[in-house]
Chains A and B, each alone.
Chain A
C-alpha cells in the first residue's frame, strides 16, 4: 500500500510539472528543456530553508514559488533574444548551470546535497505518505486550474497566436515579449511548487537528481500525451511516470521499452496520444459530439465551438452575410 502511494505521489508530482511545462511549450510554443532545473530550485529552497533555518514548510513553499518565478522571469528575458533551436540549447545549458551551482556553492550543501529534511506538518500532525499524495493532488488541482484559466483568457489566446506566428501576432497588437515572459514565469512557478513538495517527500535532495535527464522526461510527458492540452500533460505524466515501475519485472530492459514507446508514439501519433488532432481525440469527437447542424463542427475544437456559440447565440445558416 505504501509502495503504491509512493508511486502515485511521484506520478502526481510529474503531472504538476508537465501541466506547468505545457504552458511554455504547448501554449506559447517555446522550446523549454529546463523544467527539471526549476524543480530543483524549488526543492532546494525548501530543503535549505527548512533544514538550516528551521522555517515552516508552508513558508518554504512560498519562497520556492517566488524564487522559481523570478528564475523563470530571467529565462523568459533570455528567450526574447533567441529563437527555436538556440533557445532549446540555452535551456539545456541552464540545467547544467543550476546543477553546478547546487554542487559547488556550499550554501546548497555541496555534492552530498541536503538530507534529513523535516517532514511538513499541519496543525501538529506530521505528514505521512497519504498526506503527501493528498497535497500533491491539491497542487495538481491548482496547476490545472491556473493552466485551464489561462487558456480561456486573452493571455492564452495571445500565447496561442505567438505560437502560431510571432510576426503576425505582433502585427495584431500582441505584446509578444511580456506575454512570453509571463508564460515562462507561470511554468516555472508551478515547477517550484512541485519541487517544494518533492524535497520533503524524498527527505533528501542531491544536485544530480535535477539535471537534464529529468527535464527531458518532463518534455517527453507533454509530447507523449499531447502538447498544448492539460489532459495530455497529465496522461503523459501518468503513463511515463508509472511505466518504469510497471516494467520493473524486466528491470534491465525497462529503459529500452520506455524509449521505444516514446519513439513509436511520436512517430505514429505526432499530436500525442490524446492531444488536439490526435486519432483518439478525433474518434472521441466523432463518437460523442452531436451530428453537426452547421458546418462549424467539422474542424473546431471544443473551446472554439463553445466560443462560436457564445458569439452567435445560435448557429447561422451557411452563407449568411456573404457578399
Chain B
C-alpha cells in the first residue's frame, strides 16, 4: 500500500484553479521531487499535504486513511512533518528547545500534560541530542536560533521536522539562499535520511540539485502534472524545458507575429535579428554608446542570505534589456535594488547621477518608473485616480500625461472610471505600466510582468514594452518567461544564483543551450 495517495485533488482560489486533478502516490521510503516553474502550484500542493489548505475536491490518503480535513498539528501527529520555504524556526529559543518542542509528542497533546518540566524528560532530550548529532547541529545546540547562519537554520528546520519520526517529510525549497556549499552539505544530509525509512517529498526550484537526490520526479505547470518519471527522463523531457522557459521563442515569432500584428512589431523582429551588440533607439538624448543606467559591483544581502552578488549591468537610453533566470536567481532583488526598495551596496548611476544614495521616492524624480511584481495597482481607486496618484508633475502636465497613457493603452481609456480592482490581470499590468509612465521616466524597471497571465495577454504587454523603448524610454525587465522576453528585448542578461553568468544580444541567447541549463539549474 502506498504511504501517500493523492487522488484528483483540485484547489480553487476564487476563479483561479491553483491545482487541477492532481494524482500522486508515494511509497514508504521513496524520495520524490516536485518541480515546476514559478506559479505552477508547487506551494499549493505542499500546503494541501501539510494541512494548511483544504482541497476544493479530491482526496488524500495517508496509510489508506483519508486525511484531507486535517489541520497542521493533526497532520504532524499523524506522521507528516514539513519544513518552510522561508525557514520559520523559533528565534527566541535555542536549537535544543526548537527541536525538543517537535520531539515532545504526547507531552504536547494538552496543556495539562504539558505541565511538566521539559528538562525532566530525559528520554525526549536524548532523542533530540541524537537528532542534532545526525543533522550536524550539535555544535550549536545551546545557541539561540536567531544567531544561526542560514545553512544551520535550514538544518534546524529539517531536524525539527524529523523529530517525532515522521513517515513523510515535506521539504519546501530547502536550498533557497544557502549557496553552493550549503547545497552540497544539505544534499548530503537529505541523502543520509534514506536510512531512516522516511519518505521525502521535495519541492525545489534548483532542479538539477533536486533531481540528483530523488528516485522520482513530478513536474507541475499551471496546476497540472505535465511529466512524471525517473529524474533523467524528466530532465530531458521537451515539455518540461518548455514549461520552464515559457512558450518557445521560435514558435512565438512564427505563430503569433502574423500579418495582423502591428508594423512596429514586425520592424522590431526584423531589427533584433540583425543586431549583435547593444543598440540605441532614437530620442533618449544621450550620446550614442553612453549608458543611461550603469551598475557596477552590486550586492544585495538579506541578513545572512546573499541574493545579488557582484553584478555589473548597463542599459542604454531607449534600450530594452531583460534579465532572465530561474525563480530565486536574484532577478527581483536586482530590480528592487534599482528602485531602492532593498538596501544595496556597490555603484549605480542613472544618466551620471548617483542612484544608491537616493531613497525610493526620490528615484522616481531622477527618472525611474517602476512596475512591481504582482502589479500592485491601488484596487480601491479608479483607473484615472491610479494614474493621478503617481503623478509628480504640474496639474496641466498631468492631464497631458494621462492622455498619453490612455493613447498608449486604449483599453484603459475605456475603463478610466472603473475601480482598478475590477480590471483583468492584463489590464492591471497595463495600468501598472501606465502608472510608471506618469513620472516621465527615462528608465522603466519592471518585475515579472507575465506572471499568471495568458499567452495572448503576455504578447500584448511585450508589444507595449517594445513600443516604449522605441519612444525613448529604456526598459529593464526581470522576467522568468525567457522565451517571450528574449524574443522582444534587444539585449539580455542571464542570472544564476545571484550573479550574471551570461549576457549578449537577446536573439543570440535564444539559441544558447546554456540558458536552458541555467533554468534547470544544471550548472
For the complex, is A141 an interface residue (Cβ under 8 Å from B)? Answer: no
**Inter-chain contact A304/B164, CB cutoff 8 Å:** no
For the complex, is B81 an interface residue (Cβ under 8 Å from A)? Answer: yes
Give the contacting residue for B90; candidates A164, A170, A307; CB below 8 A: A164
Q: A154-B108, A304-B97 are in contact. Are A295 and B76 (CB under 8 A)?
A: no
Which B133-188 residues have C-beta < 8 A from chain A? 133-134, 136-144, 146-147, 160, 163-164, 185, 188
**Inter-chain contact A167/B108, CB cutoff 8 Å:** no
Residues of A contacting B: mostly: helix
A-B contact pairs, 14 of them (CB 8 A): A153-B114, A154-B114, A164-B91, A165-B88, A169-B90, A171-B75, A172-B76, A173-B108, A175-B110, A176-B73, A178-B111, A179-B114, A304-B93, A312-B141
Give the contacting residue for B81; candidates A149, A171, A301; CB below 8 A: A171
For the complex, is A318 an interface residue (Cβ under 8 Å from B)? Answer: yes
Contact pattern, B 72-109, Cβ under 8 Å of A = 1, otherwise 0: 11011100011010001111111011101110110111
Residues of B within 8 A of A164 (CB): 89-93
Residues of B within 8 A of A319 (CB): 139
Number of interface residues of B (CB under 8 A): 61
For the complex, is B270 an interface residue (Cβ under 8 Å from A)? Answer: no
Residues of A within 8 A of B414 (CB): none
Which B24-83 residues have C-beta < 8 A from chain A? 50, 52, 71-73, 75-77, 81-82
Q: A157-B101, A298-B147, A305-B142 are in contact. Are A163 and B92 (CB under 8 A)?
A: yes
In the complex, A161→B107 CA distance in Å? Answer: 15
**Inter-chain contact A153/B77, CB cutoff 8 Å:** no
Q: A158-B114, A178-B110 are in contact. Are A322 and B138 (CB under 8 A)?
A: yes
**Inter-chain contact A307/B88, CB cutoff 8 Å:** no
A residues within 8 Å of B by Cβ? 149-150, 152-158, 160-161, 163-165, 167-176, 178-179, 181-182, 228, 276, 295-301, 304-312, 316-323
Residues of A within 8 A of B84 (CB): 168, 171
Give the contacting residue for A171; candidates B50, B113, B114, B117; CB below 8 A: B50
B149: min CB distance to chain A, Å: 12
**Inter-chain contact A304/B108, CB cutoff 8 Å:** no
Sample of 19 more A-B contacts, CB < 8 Å, known A154-B115, A320-B133? A152-B118, A153-B115, A157-B101, A160-B90, A160-B92, A171-B81, A172-B76, A172-B163, A173-B77, A174-B73, A296-B142, A300-B144, A304-B144, A307-B96, A307-B142, A311-B128, A311-B141, A316-B138, A323-B185
In the complex, A320→B115 CA distance in Å? Answer: 33
**Inter-chain contact A295/B72, CB cutoff 8 Å:** no
What residue of chain A has the Cβ atom nearest to residue B155's Cβ? A322
Residues of B within 8 A of A168 (CB): 84, 88-90
Q: A160-B93, A167-B72, A298-B143 are in contact. Are A173 and B164 (CB under 8 A)?
A: yes
In the complex, A43→B92 CA distance in Å? Answer: 36
In the complex, A301→B92 CA distance in Å? Answer: 9
In the complex, A319→B141 CA distance in Å? Answer: 11
In the complex, A306→B71 CA distance in Å? Answer: 34
In the complex, A80→B343 CA distance in Å? Answer: 37
Residues of A within 8 A of B105 (CB): 173
**Inter-chain contact A322/B115, CB cutoff 8 Å:** no
Residues of A within 8 A of B140 (CB): 295
B68: min CB distance to chain A, Å: 17
Residues of B within 8 A of A301 (CB): 144
**Inter-chain contact B136/A322, CB cutoff 8 Å:** yes
Closest 8 CB pairs of A and B: A308-B142, A182-B111, A296-B142, A168-B88, A154-B114, A155-B114, A164-B90, A304-B94
For the complex, is B459 an interface residue (Cβ under 8 Å from A)? Answer: no
**Inter-chain contact A158/B110, CB cutoff 8 Å:** no
Residues of A within 8 A of B88 (CB): 165, 167-168
What residue of chain A has the Cβ atom nearest to residue B121's Cβ? A154
B203: min CB distance to chain A, Å: 15
Give the contacting residue for A310; candidates B73, B98, B102, B119; CB below 8 A: B119
Contact pattern, B 447-475, Cβ under 8 Å of A = 1, otherwise 0: 00000000000000000000000000000
In the complex, A316→B129 CA distance in Å? Answer: 12
**Inter-chain contact A323/B136, CB cutoff 8 Å:** yes
